[in-house]
Amino acid sequence: MSLIYKRSSALFNEAKEYIPGGVNSPVRAFNAVGGDPVYVKSAKGAYLQTEDGHEIIDYIASWGPMILGHAFEPVVTAVQEAASKGTSYGMPTALETEIAKLAVSMAPHIDQIRMVNSGTEACMSAVRLARGFTGRDKIVKFAGCYHGHSDSFLIQAGSGAVTFGSPNSPGVTAGTAKDTLLASYNNLAHVEELFVNNPEQIACIIIEPIAGNMGCIVPQDGFLEGLRHLCDQHGALLIFDEVMTGFRLARGGAQETTGVRADIVTYGKVIGGGLPVGAFAARQEIMNHLAPLGPVYQAGTLSGNPLAMSAGLAMLTHLNNHPEVYDDLAQKTEQLHLGIQDVLIEKGIAHQINRYSSMMSVHFCDEPVIDFETAVAGNNDWFKKYFHGLLERGIYLPPSAFESYFLNNALSEKDITRTIQATREVVASW
Ligand SMILES: *Cc1c(COP(=O)(O)O)cnc(C)c1O
């Protein structure tokens, strides 16, 4: 049985007439894997209903937010109730304090949090705050890490940017680019060198503490601790971009699981429960520099809007009260990892599987994948074949080798067994 996505293709062709490339975010367009994207009609739990009438298993969870599965009841109810009371006021609400209080109690080393509307905005604002706080201009980012599409970050930005062959996007001025210093993930000596060569000029290091935008890449022992040390030594701030990992790896995100303290943390994805939300947080001393308290300006007409805050609050409340979700997710991810690994070993197919909590990626290559360079060395033709083979069997993986799988807790053991079986069928002919 091989599923066909005919209506999706027709819808995509129509979309292309009115929307650039047919999509509102590039990775959705399937350029990395070929073919036409799948159109979703609705979703519930671990399953997507496509416009073609197929029910398929979802391994992207809207790129992270739907950690508890789609249309999770408490979130849906919260949004419905909020909508009936008006969708935006441009005035403060008690709800905003409630979610801020909860978020700050869940994650370590943060006193205050400011809500914005996307992960991009969160990272952009966090860097401005770091520059304002330190009075320095330069930032260090890692090749293959993605921090949204703001100008300073579109320098070897992983996933979408790599897929589209424009690691350095036109439209980013040389003036902006020169303030972004590029380092290699897991290479502490490289970062140290940047500090030595740019004395008292580096405002911050921004990093995905567990990288997810060049596939999943895990920090090696001592790497994050080393960055912490370098920042302390040179008076720079350490920004953890936890847009992907925040509230996904654990209640306290990567700060909790790695035990490394960040100075500023950015959030997105899970914190909005599937609505457009981002946030950045830090200790009081740093947040005091933000308007209206301090001179670093940042604002938003729809920031903290009641629909988004209601969804986020319902999501975080559930996670806070049910931390066992994280163990369940890690266990399911391990089951998937081991199952796929067995199949690939059996067939003698070169591969590396990286996994951390509920993030995972399969790379078709021999060498360990520890940074951007080793990530791009994977066999993309095999990835494409694997992706489409699974899609024909009703399983949706991220449509790029440079994206992490995101498991959701609605996935059953049966779904995972089915995914492993589908893998066996797909590689049987390789
Ligand atoms: C998704 C993501 C972003 C950008 O968030 P948007 O809401 O898409 O703007 C930033 N950083 C990381 C690590 C991400 O995964």
In the numeric block, the tokens 């069928």 are attached to 425
Q: Is 183 in the pocket of ligand 1 (CB under 6 A)?
A: no
- What is the value of pTM for the model shown? 0.97
User: How many folded domains does the chain comprise?
Assistant: 2
The pLDDT value recorded for residue 413 is 97
Based on the domain organization, do 217 and 105 belong to the same domain? yes
The answer to whether residue 21 is domain-embedded is yes
Catalytic residue among 179, 241, 371, 415: 241
Based on the domain organization, do 153 and 104 belong to the same domain? yes
Residue 267 CA from chain centroid, whole number: 9
The pLDDT value recorded for residue 164 is 46
Based on the domain organization, do 47 and 107 belong to the same domain? no
Based on the domain organization, do 140 and 264 belong to the same domain? yes
The pLDDT value recorded for residue 167 is 47
Higher pLDDT: 159 or 386? It is 386
Based on the domain organization, do 305 and 334 belong to the same domain? no
Instruction: Identify the weakest region by mean pLDDT among 200-204, 228-232, 291-295, 372-376.
Output: 372-376
Residue nearest to atom 10 of ligand 1 (CA): 147
Q: Is 268 in the pocket of ligand 1 (CB under 6 A)?
A: yes
**Span 201-213, average pLDDT:** 98
Q: pLDDT per residue over 67-96, tens digit each?
A: 999 999 999 999 999 999 999 999 999 999
Q: How far is the CA of 209 from the centre of ligand 1 (A)?
A: 13
Catalytic residue among 36, 59, 179, 269: 269
* pLDDT-derived band at 158, boundaries 50, 70, 90: low
Spatial separation of the C-alpha atoms in residues 189 and 182, rounded to whole Å: 13
Q: Is 243 in the pocket of ligand 1 (CB under 6 A)?
A: yes
* pLDDT-derived band at 160, boundaries 50, 70, 90: low
Range of the domain at 189: 75-321
| Residue 152 buriedness (CB in 10 A; 0-12 / 13-18 / 19+) | buried
At position 9, the amino acid (one-letter code) is S
Q: pLDDT per residue over 331-383, tens digit each?
A: 999 999 999 999 999 999 999 999 999 999 999 999 999 999 999 999 999 99
For residue 89, indicate whether it is catalytic: no
Based on the domain organization, do 44 and 117 belong to the same domain? no
**Span 30-51, average pLDDT:** 97
The answer to whether residue 1 is domain-embedded is no
The answer to whether residue 251 is domain-embedded is yes
Ligand 1 nearest atom to the CA of residue 145, by list position:
13
Specify the CATH number for the domain of residue 33.
Answer: 3.90.1150.10
**Span 98-116, average pLDDT:** 98
Q: pLDDT per residue over 297-329, tens digit each?
A: 999 999 999 999 999 999 999 999 999 999 999
Based on the domain organization, do 99 and 83 belong to the same domain? yes
Specify the CATH number for the domain of residue 237.
Answer: 3.40.640.10
Domain-ending residue, one of 321, 355, 379? 321
